[in-house]
Amino acid sequence: MTTIERDHCSKIIERVAAKHGIALTKDDPILMIHTLNEILLEENNKAHQVLLNNFRSTLEENISLWSQATENKANTLLQASSRNTHLLTEQIINACFESIDQKIESGFNEKIKEVSTLAQSTRQAVILNLLATGLFFIAVLVMVLVF
């Protein structure tokens, strides 16, 4: 027995004597049971440590797998979101182009109507000018012939 074990054994003997009023000797079988309990506790602690180490490694593996699976899911969602954003952007751009095209076409049609109306007015003015010029020539001819 080492000094630490003797001190420990002495403390146990003192404690039992103080609490129960029974004096134990160093070769008492009760102390053997205490030693057996300590041995069993040490073995139990070692077994628990092995179980904890196994659990820790299993947990770390699972966390790694979960992290990888989560990253894959996030990448999949990001790609799907990117595709949806691209499609939505194309739809918005196409809608804008259609709206611009309609506005240009309606503006063009309005200008054609204005030009057509102006052309008709100009044609009428030209016809009136031709008639007036014809009347003027006839009047000049009549004046020349009469005078």
Counting Cα atoms < 13 Å in the Cβ hemisphere of 68 gives 6
Instruction: Give the 3-state secondary structure of the chain.
Output: CCHHHHHHHHHHHHHHHHHHCCCCCCCCHHHHHHHHHHHHHHHHHHHHHHHHHHHHHHHHHHHHHHHHHHHHHHHHHHHHHHHHHHHHHHHHHHHHHHHHHHHHHHHHHHHHHHHHHHHHHHHHHHHHHHHHHHHHHHHHHHHHHHC
Domain that holds residue 64: 3-146
Across 118-139, b (16+ Cβ under 10 Å) vs e yields eeeeeeeeeeeeeeeeeeeeee
Is 24 within 8 Å of 13 (Cβ atoms)? Answer: yes
pLDDT per residue over 21-31, tens digit each? 888 888 888 88
Mean pLDDT computed over 119-144: 93
* Domain count across the chain: 1
Is 31 within 8 Å of 24 (Cβ atoms)? Answer: yes
pLDDT per residue over 63-121, tens digit each? 999 999 999 999 999 999 999 999 999 999 999 999 999 999 999 999 999 999 999 99
Res 132 pLDDT > 90? yes
